[in-house]
Amino acid sequence: MQDQFIIILCLFLVLFNPFLVISLYQPFNEDMLGLIVFKAGLEDPKNKLSSWNEDDYSPCNWEGVKCDPTTNRVSSLVLDGFSLSGHIGKSLMKLQFLQILSLSKNNFTGEINHDLLVTLWNLKVVDLSENSLFGTIPDELFRQCWSLRVLSLAKNNLSGTIPDSLSSCFSLASLNFSSNRLIGELHSGMWFLKELQSLDLSNNLLDGEIPEGIQNLYDLRELRLRRNFFTGRIPESIGNCLLLKLIDFGDNLLTDEIPESIQRLTSSTFLSLQGNSLNGSIPHWIIELNNLEILDLSSNRFFGLIPNGIGGLKSLQVLNFSNNNIFGSIPVSIRELKSLYILDLSDNKINGSIPCEIEGAISLNELRLQRNLLVGRIPVQIAKCSALTSMNLAHNKLIGSIPSSIADLTNLQHADFSWNKLTGTLPKKLTNLTHLSSFNVSYNNLQGELPIGGFFKKISPSFVYGNPLLCGSVLNHSCSSYHPKPIVLNPNSNYNNSRTSLQNQHHHHHHKIMLSISVFIAIGAAISIVVGVIVVSFLNIHVRSSNSHSNFPFGLPDGKDYRSSPEKDPKCGKVVMFNGDVEFTDEPNNLLKEGNEIGRGGFGIVYCVVLRDQKSVAIKKLIGSSLTKLHDDFEEEVQKLGKIRHQNLVAIDGYYWNSTFQLIIYEYFSRGNLHKLLHDDNSKIVFSWSARFKVILGIAKGLAYLHQMNIIHYNMKSTNVFIDFCDEPKIGDFGLVNLLPTLDHCVLSSKIQSALGYTAPEFACRTVNITEKCDVYGFGILVLEIVSGKRPVEYMEDDVVVLCDMVRSSLEDGKVEQCVDEKLVGNFSLEEAIPMIKLGLVCSSHVPSNRPNMAEVVNILETIECSSEGQQEELQ
């Protein structure tokens, strides 16, 4: 009876006391209110939050929302990939019992609220990656982060330093700050996070040495520090992190040898040290890391032999030792790699023959052995590597014929045998390779008729150039009527002796002849360029007239152009900034005007524009818009270029496109370009020798990085190198040729190679491929220009002085001081100047194959620098 009374009393209180009902559900209403207010501040283009109805009794069944069954409070909010945009507002702070907050792969903007972790102290997982958040990471964010296990702010636009207070998040197991713009040194407090299992700080601007103390991270499994500016050695103590499976220090500025302690990391499956300045030999103990699947030591300064026992790495899938100074032969133990997918030993000094034992690598998909000293024949056994899709053996000394067994590689898509000494005919069965998209045999000694059918119906002539005895319709001469002229040697000639005698008798006359030839080449190149400019100018007449009628928000006159009107083309007139929205200080009609112009060249006119936050940017208005790609292709290429970040490259901040003209938005350098600093008579700045050396080394590193990314600059000259206030060079205008459709030599040389003196000779020859060696030529001219302070070609009253010839003549006469800028007399290093001048001459060789690649140039410059410092220390 008493129990029934209590039940009736409770029902009475509930029915007739609404204040009691509200109090019972107050916490629940807080969660619901917070989510509704959060939704109200968002844009939801895909209507993903349609289930969020404020009239519902509970939010626990809403899309992306989960509740704790015991408390009925919201415990998880996961909205990944919902295409939401807006700010992450304070309303989420009402979700007091929230443990998981994941808003990745959206378009959230604004700064990170510093009260986020302080208020939501129950949070265990926070994932705000792949958004557009900007600003610094607040130090206050980590005042109460004891329960936090996973934190990811990757792929945003965050800047500033990593807060020291992060070290108080002692429960962290996974930390990811990758792909932002974080700067500063890595503080040792990071190693206090003893429960950390995964650390990813890659793709930032962090610098300084990696601090000691990493041995405290006993549970560390993954360490990614790729693409930063870390210097010094890899910490020796890393070998104490015995659970490490993934180690990635690629694309930094690390030096010295690989720490021996790494041999203790036998659990590792991924080791990448590529793109540094590590040296020494490849350690023999590397073969003890028998769980390795990826081993990448490319683009360093390693030398010596490949360890013979490399075949013991049974799990290895990728082996990349490219772009080093490795010599010796390819170990036969390679046959034991049954799992190998990619083998890249290119750009080394490997000699000997390709071992027939390579047939054992049955899983091999890509074989890259180009630019070595390989001799002998291509082994017929290579056909046993039936999974091959790409094979590059170019720039070696291979002899014999191309084996007919190559036709058995039915998956082959790309093959390059160019620049060898191959003979014989091309196997007819090659037409059976249905997946083939490129097959380059240029510059060999092949003969006979090209295969008929299949890929060879449409093969590019450039793929077969340099084989005078080859014939076929592609080469425009019939095999039946083609009879090569015999080569007749005069047994009575004594050319070498007479040549030596003439050189000894007429040394100065020889210089005069060489100068005349160079002048003739320069004049011929100038004529070609002028003709090309006239052609391009004619093509641009239509563009200029179109521009006068275009409707653009940056200051062109108003007018109608139905091709570019927003009504006709929804993609037209879109300004895209990679680091957030852009705001201008002036009215649109006053921006791209003559008063703001700061330069112009073959690609367009450059303006300086001030943003709302007082930051200046350089805006290049591309000319010749009829030559540029369509929107999607243009956007894809600029997005790729925008992701390139290097200390010696000008950053691309954004772009604009419409059907009549386009803009590229760059970071701005008020100090100006290298040409101004070297040749401006009004400049009071004396460019010191140490500053010039730093500039040359920086340009080399920037170019080497571009070539590593498979980007050819095409237009290396002093006006395209900008200097910051720390004398650090920044290469600009790279990759712009990719914004154009495929151009022939005439348009390319006139559109891009507009500066006389920097143009590689191969631009004047239609039968020679344009490679990254054209950049090396331009770099060589830049070296001589920086050292001498003289322009590449100078016109006197009755003569033309070509810098290369002048420097070569002075150097041979032992008059080094004539090769160095007179402003530096008595203030330059002779130990650095002589090898620097020689390097410039080698890089500007008229024969592309005689020029080193840029990775080798960087190594040479660093050796010159070290040698000079060593001699100075001895003198002291």
| Residues ≥6 apart with Cβ < 8 Å to 396 | 369, 370, 371, 372, 373, 374, 375, 419, 420
3-state secondary structure (DSSP) of residue 309? helix
Q: What is the pLDDT of residue 560?
A: 32
**Three-class SS state of 77:** strand
- Please list, residue by residue across 66-81, b when 16 or more beta carbons sit within 10 angstroms of its beta carbon and e when fewer do: bbeeeebbbbbbbbee
Do 204 and 227 contact (CB within 8 A), yes or no?
A: yes
3-state helix, strand, coil in the chain (%, to 5): 35, 20, 45
Q: Are strands 294-296 and 229-232 parallel, antiparallel or unpaired?
A: unpaired
Structure tokens belonging to residue 149: 């296990």
403: which DSSP letter? Answer: P
Report the pLDDT value the prediction gives residue 21, as an integer from 0 to 100. Answer: 39
Write phi, then psi, for 145 (nearest 5 degrees).
-120, 30
The structural domains of the chain, ordered by start, are 399-482 (3.80.10.10), 549-668 (3.30.200.20), 671-876 (1.10.510.10)
Cβ-contact 579, 697 below 8 angstroms: no
Q: What is the DSSP letter of 218?
A: T
Q: Residue 410: helix, strand or coil by DSSP?
A: coil
Closest CA to 278 of 307, 303, 312: 303
Strand partners, 416: 392, 440
- State whether residue 528 is helix, strand or coil: helix
Mean pLDDT by 10 residues, the chain (876 residues): 47 42 51 92 93 89 93 94 92 91 95 83 93 92 89 94 91 95 90 93 92 91 93 92 94 92 94 92 91 94 90 92 91 87 93 88 92 92 91 93 91 93 91 90 90 85 86 75 36 32 38 41 47 44 39 35 39 67 51 73 78 78 62 81 88 80 84 87 73 93 91 89 88 81 49 66 70 93 94 78 88 84 81 88 88 90 71 47
CB atoms within 10 A of CB 876: 5
Across the beta sheet with 42-43, what order do the strands follow? 42-43, 85-87, 107-109
Give every CB contact of residue 828 below 8 A, 6+ residues apart in sequence: 689, 820
What is the distance between the alpha carbons of residues 419 and 768, in angstroms, rounded to a whole number?
A: 12
The full DSSP string for 730-770 is EE-STTGGGGS----HHHHHHHT--STT---GGGG-TTS--
